[in-house]
Structure 1
């Protein structure tokens, strides 16, 4: 079935120093291209249907940090009603092998596929259509997979920068990142407004706990069962030991449990983080549901306000958004790790590329290579989110770069110490203070400084 040799794009090198790294790209790569092509055809079509001749061709195989992606094109002859070729993606976990895959992996993958199905069936947020998935290895390729449609569009990073990212010399990427020409600025504004509109479509999907929405296994009719525990198995770039989290009934329980698990040994840093989590919005808010029927008892009477939780894309960055040539969003991909979370870190949050200045370790060398324009574009996104989903949830957008930095520290993606220093630097009274010296004094007890920090950090975090 293979007409041309597919493009192979493999960049992963195993981390021999990490005992938790279960990725086995080498084994996944050995799945023959012909086997993949035959497997996809048998998944989608009955062998008894001989009226139309169908061919499946693998056009590319490439790898991200944790998955092997197979790009396929299905051609029909004769083509019914002039239908164009169908482009698909088969997503295979890098650790989806018999000696690496485990029950927790299967649980997370099945619910990732079902969350994508839920979003596509109940909202207008542009996500891929899941055609088939199997969280077991009992299939024709002997690996777990999600088969989905390939969305049209070009990478958002190319539109944001004004030309294909790979064609721009790396040393010059920062030169025009902050001051875009009028035509490029128009595309950026269109993109930000379109992205805010797309994410705002997730508003009606509410849950009564923090965790992974769990669905029935039925392929034809998907039924929501409950919110279950989330299993975290990787950071942004590396695999970790499997860690269970939740489900949680409140924002306060979620954040405080995460801080306790970090076991920050520096008492001064821990005091700053404790102060942070004692402030709104990390303490949670009890507000009416956006879905009116959830706020009524069985007899139809309104219930007392409570916390409701909504979805969060785990990596809403330029590489995971597709757009047209004008900047309109055509697709959002990579929903791995999507879960129900407190509203302050949910779908209304700023995308990752607009909060890099609050991510320790990020530099001008990271996309979008900006230095001083973050606040300008944040304000555009905030205004759009308020327009599309109203003030109830959009009140968290303005300072979500700060809330997300706290989450990154609690998840272990960045160091608590670095985030605590960012808070100190944002407070005028402490801006020129040596952070390390301040932490040492807080660690042995400094009530006056603690009192001032409580006031100033509360002001900094207060939703706007």
Structure 2
């Protein structure tokens, strides 16, 4: 039998993984339940498949027990490598570390296999089902619209305004994220439990698309410092073009003023994709799950667990921010600033106004600087936005002209711009 519905899936990337049958997935689930919990199953049901960019997520019901079977895009062909196996092991180690050391609701890993020696013929992770709805489904809905689609949430959500619901989400999230302050590491890398003490001793893992459309996993590091990490990942080829030179010059000075290169020699965790589709909430706005921990790694304190979630710093990602055109799916800069102030306050309370809380207030800026070193489009748009903000230029073309002049060492207002950029990035004691 052919696998579940194949809508919206990249066939070139997932190949034969698309055709894994419902029967084999149910067989894997029932066998796991018998083997790990010593429980037989009287009724089994395949519920659905969710197609992600890098994983196929199958949900199976066994009696009253619901579980998730997650299959990575690298589970076939040339993608099935030792690096892919280690990346899966690191994800398991990370989730188990968080589960053991905090009350953060992350998926429980029941079983996993990095080989294809199993009933579905591919690596997989079997994990607990996380209840609730992703924030991406509820953030922009009014209560009455959401009730129509989710009757089970009607009782409590009907008397809640959208703003109250949003603030409850942010408060609950800050309280959970603050618990990651319990872990520090001496390198930028991925978590491994191969030794007696969990450490960031594995390299950083990254997806890479091959020429034939399939995916593979590549590695870098681990790194002893943020500067070493950024030097390795920097996308700016100096002297290639005036615009590239300008971006490198701007980011260099902002980096020097920011706390990214903090020399304390320790690093912290954060969710690898800290965005609204990976945060699950209940009918009151309480966070019920943080999902999708592929390639979780340690990072500098200023962009770690205490930093803002991605959806309340959208205005600092000008390459993708759609306001005011997309008013139904974007918040205004003024509203985002309000949410950041609220989240900063809640993180301060959760951390007793100590430690990494001092980084929260400007974490939308430091995170944008960090991402700009990795992505050419994000880099250009961030630098253009900064020029417009500091010099008060309204037209995008005028801002680009200024960037050309900066790259060619011909911009007379550089000293003024540089000093303001440093002030924007600097964290005051």
TM-score (norm 2): 0.85
Question: Matched residues in 1 for 2:144 and 2:94: separation?
Answer: 31
Report if aligned partners of 2:142, 2:162 keep a CA contact under 8 Å in 1: no
Aligned twin of 2:53: 65
Higher helix proportion, which one? 2
2:174 corresponding residue in structure 1: 196
**Contact 2:169–2:287 under 8 Å retained in 1:** yes
- What is the CA deviation profile of residues 192-226 of structure 1, one whole-angstrom value per residue up to 9, with x for unaligned ones? 10011111111111100111122229xxxx85255
Within 5 A, what are the aligned runs for 1:21-32?
Answer: 23-24=13-14, 26-32=15-21
Gaps of 5+ in 2: 148-158
Alignment of 1:202-217 (within 5 A): 202-216=180-194
Displacement of 1:135 after TM fit? 1.6
The aligned counterpart of 1:255 is: 230
SS for the counterpart of 1:45 is: helix
Quote the offset at 1:102 in angstroms: 1.9
Q: 1:33 to 1:242 in 2, by over 3 A?
A: closer
Deviation at 1:428, TM superposition (A): 4.4
Shift in CA distance, 262/59, structure 1 to aligned 2, threshold 3 Å? same
What is the distance in 2 between the residues matched to 1:363 and 1:249? 37
Gaps of 5+ in 1: 15-21, 76-84, 169-180, 287-306
Instruction: Please point out which of 400, 415, 425 is paired with 1:461.
Output: 425
CA distance in 2, matches of 1:102, 1:216: 19
How far is the alpha carbon of 1:450 from its aligned partner? 3.7
User: Would the aligned equivalents of 1:350 and 1:401 in 2 still touch at CA under 8 Å?
Assistant: yes
Q: Distance in 1 between matches of 2:412 and 2:82?
A: 51
CA distance in 2, matches of 1:108, 1:380: 35
In the TM superposition, residue 118 of structure 1 has moved relative to its aligned partner by 0.8
1:8 corresponds to which of 5, 8, 16: 5
Q: Does 1:312 align with 2:275?
A: no
Q: CA deviation at 1:241?
A: 6.8
1:49-448 superposed matches below 5 A: 53-75=41-63, 85-163=64-142, 183-216=161-194, 223-224=197-198, 226-234=200-208, 242-259=217-234, 261-263=235-237, 265=240, 266-286=244-264, 307-359=265-317, 360-364=319-323, 365=326, 368-371=329-332, 372-389=334-351, 390-412=353-375, 414-428=377-391, 434-446=398-410
Deviates more, 1:196-205 or 1:367-376: 367-376
Aligned length: 404
Name the CA distance, whole Å, in 2 between partners of 1:309 and 1:367: 37
Distance (whole Å) between structure 1 residues aligned to residue 366 and residue 312 of structure 2: 13
| Residues 83 and 218, structure 2, Cα contact 8 Å, conserved in 1 | no
Secondary structure class of the residue paired with 2:320: coil
Q: Closer, same or farther in 2 for the Cα pair 1:13/1:29, shift >3 Å?
A: closer
Measured against aligned partners, the alpha-carbon deviations of 1:286-329 in whole angstroms (never above 9, x if no partner) come to: 2xxxxxxxxxxxxxxxxxxxx21001212111211111111011
SS at match of 1:330: strand
**Hey, what's the Cα distance between the residues in 2 that align with 1:314 and 1:276?**
23
Change (3 A) 1:32 1:362: same
CA distance in 2, matches of 1:452, 1:263: 25
Quick check: 1:309–1:341 contact (8 Å CA) kept in 2?
yes
Secondary structure of the equivalent of 1:96? Answer: coil
Separation in 2 of the partners of 1:418 and 1:47?
51
Partner residue in 1 for 2:26: 37
For residues 47 and 353 of structure 1, what CA distance do their matches in structure 2 show? 38
Question: For the Cα contact (< 8 Å) 1:318–1:353, is it kept in 2?
Answer: yes
